[in-house]
Amino acid sequence: NAGVTQTPKFQVLKTGQSMTLQCAQDMNHNSMYWYRQDPGMGLRLIYYSASEGTTDKGEVPNGYNVSRLNKREFSLRLESAAPSQTSVYFCASSGRGLAGLGPTDTQYFGPGTRLTVL
């Protein structure tokens, strides 16, 4: 099992360009998440999908859109990149569905995408 995979690993964009970050998991998990990590600020939730067919905003959704393509895949799109979106982006998945996190639940993280917007 590959776990959670993300593409690309690195990306450099110019201000105003668009791109989509891809995430896939092979653990048959119901829930998937997108986080960004900035120095000194920890991980911040951008969007999450509790189950296939649902998506909801997290703490910092502005400037992003998401698509839960199927149970395995959850993509994050930047429509018009800005320098403030320079960050490391992590995708994660967890097994529990609409009841939310709880005992024995664990979020498994992908390797991350390092995005620089010039």
Partner 1 sequence: QKEVEQNSGPLSVPEGAIASLNCTYSDRGSQSFFWYRQYSGKSPELIMSIYSNGDKEDGRFTAQLNKASQYVSLLIRDSQPSDSATYLCAVAPRGGFKTIFGAGTRLFVKA
* Site residues (vs partner 1, CB under 8 A): 31, 33, 35, 40-45, 48, 50, 56, 58-59, 90, 99-112
CB of 83 to partner 1, least distance (A): 21
Task: Compute the radius of gyration of the chain from its Cα atoms.
Answer: 14
19 vs 88, beta carbon nearer partner 1: 88
CB of 15 to partner 1, least distance (A): 26
In this structure, the strands spanning 113-117 and 74-78 are unpaired
CB of 14 to partner 1, least distance (A): 25
CB of 80 to partner 1, least distance (A): 26
17 vs 58, beta carbon nearer partner 1: 58
Q: Is 111 helix (H, G, I), strand (E, B) or coil?
A: coil
What one-letter code names the amino acid at 25? Q
17 vs 51, beta carbon nearer partner 1: 51
**Residue given tokens 């951008």 in the structure block:** 46
The percent of the chain in helix, strand and coil, each rounded to the nearest 5, is 5, 50, 45
Q: What tokens appear for 106 in the block?
A: 């664990």
